[in-house]
Amino acid sequence: METTVPAHPEALSRSWQGSNQSARQTVGDIGSGGDRVVFSEWEGPASKPVDRGSRWLWKLFLGIFIPQERQRFLPTASGYVLIILAVGLCAAAYNTGSNILFLVLALLLSLFILSGVLSWMNFRSLRWRAEGELPFRCGQRGTIRVRVDNRKRYLPTEEVFFSLQDKEQKHQEVIPLKVPLAAGETVWERSIVIPAKRGRMKVILSGAQSKFPFGFMKKSIGRPIPLEFPVWPKRISCRVQQHPWSQKHLHGETSRHPGQGDDLIQIRRYEYGDPFHLVHWKATARTGRIMIRKMAGDEKEGLYFYLDTNKRLWRSEESFENFCRLAGSLAEKLFAAGQFRGYFGPTQSLALIKKEEEVWHFLDLLSGLARETPRPSKERPIIRKNTLQFEPYGETGAQAILAGQVFATS
Partner 1 sequence: MEKRELKPSLPAKSSPPAEILQLHWQLGVVGYLLGFIAFSGLFVTPLAIGPWFAFGLVVMVGFFLFPRWSGAIPAKVWRAAQILVVAVFGLDLFLGGGIIEALVRLNILLVTYRVVSPRSRRDDWQLVLVGLFLIIISGVFSVSAWFIPQALLFTATTMFFLRGVNRLDSMEYRQAVPQYWQEFRWSSFWEGTNFLASRIQWAVGGLGFLFLVALSALIFVAIPRLDLDSRFEFLQVRGMQSLSGFDEEMGLQDITNILQDNTPALRVDVPEDASLPAVPYWRMLAFDQYENGRFRLSRSVAEKQESWRGRQATSVDFDWERADIGPGNVNARWTFFLEPGVSRYLPLGGPFGELRLQEEQSFRHVPALQIIGQPFVNGSVFIYQFRGKGVFAERIPDPELALRLETAEAGAYPQTTVELPVNEASREYLQEVNAQLRGEEELSALGYARRVSEYLQERHGYSLQSQVPGGDKDIVVRWMESGNPAHCEYFAAALVLLLREQGIPARVAVGFAGGRRNAFEGHITVRYSDAHAWVEVFDDGYWHRVDPTPSAEGEDGTGEESAEENGLGFLQDTGFGAFLDGMRMLWYRRIVSFDEAEQSDFFTRQRERLEALGEEIKAAAVGVRQAVMDWLRGPWDLRRGATLLGLILFLALAIGVARVLRWRWKFWWWRWRGGAAARHPIREKASRGLRRLQHQRVSGPERRDNLAEIEKALLIFRYGPEAQWPDSPTKSLDQLLLKLKRN
Number of residues that bind partner 1 (CB under 8 A): 56
- When asked if residue 368 is in the footprint of partner 1 (CB under 8 A), the reply is no
Contact 241, 154 (CB under 8 A): no
Site string for partner 1, 50-89 (x = CB under 8 A): ----------------------------x--x---x---x
Report the distance separating Cα 314 and Cα 310, nearest Å: 6
Q: How many helices (H) and strands (E) does the chain have?
A: 8, 22
Closest CB 338 distance from partner 1, rounded Å: 42
Residue span binding partner 1 (CB under 8 A) among the ranges 1-9, 30-38, 62-70, 310-318: 1-9
- Per-residue binder mask for partner 1 (CB under 8 A), 114-133, x = binder: x--xx--x------------
* Shortest separation between residue 66's beta carbon and partner 1, angstroms: 18
Residue 107 binds to partner 1 (criterion: CB under 8 A): yes
For every residue of 304-365, DSSP letters joined together read EEE---BTTT--SHHHHHHHHHHHHHHHHHHHHTT-EEEEE-SSS--EE--SHHHHHHHHHH
Say if residue 151 is exposed, middle or buried (CB neighbours under 10 Å; 0-12, 13-18, 19+). Answer: buried
Secondary structure (DSSP) of 27-39: -TTS-SSSEEEE-
- Closer residue to partner 1 in complex, CB, 170/378: 170
Question: Shortest Cβ distance from residue 116 to partner 1 (Å)?
Answer: 11
Q: Using alpha carbons only, what angle is made at residue 9 by residues 131 and 71, rounded to the nearest 5 degrees?
A: 65
| Distant-in-sequence, close-in-space partners of 285: CB < 8 Å, separation ≥ 6 | none
Q: Phi first, then psi: give them for residue 356, nearest 5 degrees.
A: -60, -35
Q: For residue 236, give every residue at least 6 positions away whose Cβ sits within 8 Å of its Cβ, in sequence order, or none.
A: 322, 325, 326, 329, 410
Applying CB under 8 A, which part among 5-13, 313-321, 370-378, 389-397 lies near partner 1?
A: 5-13
CB of 171 to partner 1, least distance (A): 6
Q: Report, in Å, the least distance between residue 44 CB and partner 1.
A: 18
| Residue 101 in contact with partner 1, rule: CB under 8 A | yes
Measured torsion, CA atoms of residues 75, 81, 84, 88, in degrees rounded to the nearest 10: -150
Shortest distance (Å) from residue 321 CB to partner 1: 25
Counting every residue written for the chain, the total comes to 410
Q: Binding marks (x or -) toward partner 1, 161..200, rule CB under 8 A?
A: x--------xxxxx-x-x-x-xxxx---------------
| Nearest to 302, CA basis, from 267, 266, 263, 343 | 343
Choice from 46, 105, 148, 201 touching partner 1 (CB under 8 A) = 105
CB of 268 to partner 1, least distance (A): 33
For residue 205, state whether it binds partner 1 (rule: CB under 8 A).
Answer: no
Give, for 65, the enclosing helix (H) or strand (E).
Answer: helix 56-65
Dist CA 50 CA 38 (whole Å)? 23
Q: Which stretch binds partner 1 (CB under 8 A): 109-117, 245-253, 354-362, 363-371?
A: 109-117
What CA–CA distance (Å, rounded) separates 293 from 299?
13
Give the nearer residue to partner 1 in terms of CB position, either 57 or 103: 103
Distance CA 222, CA 207 (A): 5
Residues from 6 through 35 that contact partner 1 (CB under 8 A): 6-11, 14
Nearer to partner 1, 161 or 305 (CB): 161
Give the footprint of partner 1 on residues 322-351 (CB under 8 A). Answer: none
Contacts with partner 1 in 208-237 (CB under 8 A)? 211-215
Cβ-count burial 187-205 (b if 16+ within 10 Å, e if not): bbbebebebeebbebebeb
Binding mask 290-319 for partner 1 (x = CB under 8 A): ------------------------------
Q: Which residues bind partner 1 (CB under 8 A)?
A: 6-11, 14, 78, 81, 85, 89, 94-107, 109-111, 113-114, 117-118, 121, 154-156, 158-159, 161, 170-174, 176, 178, 180, 182-185, 211-215
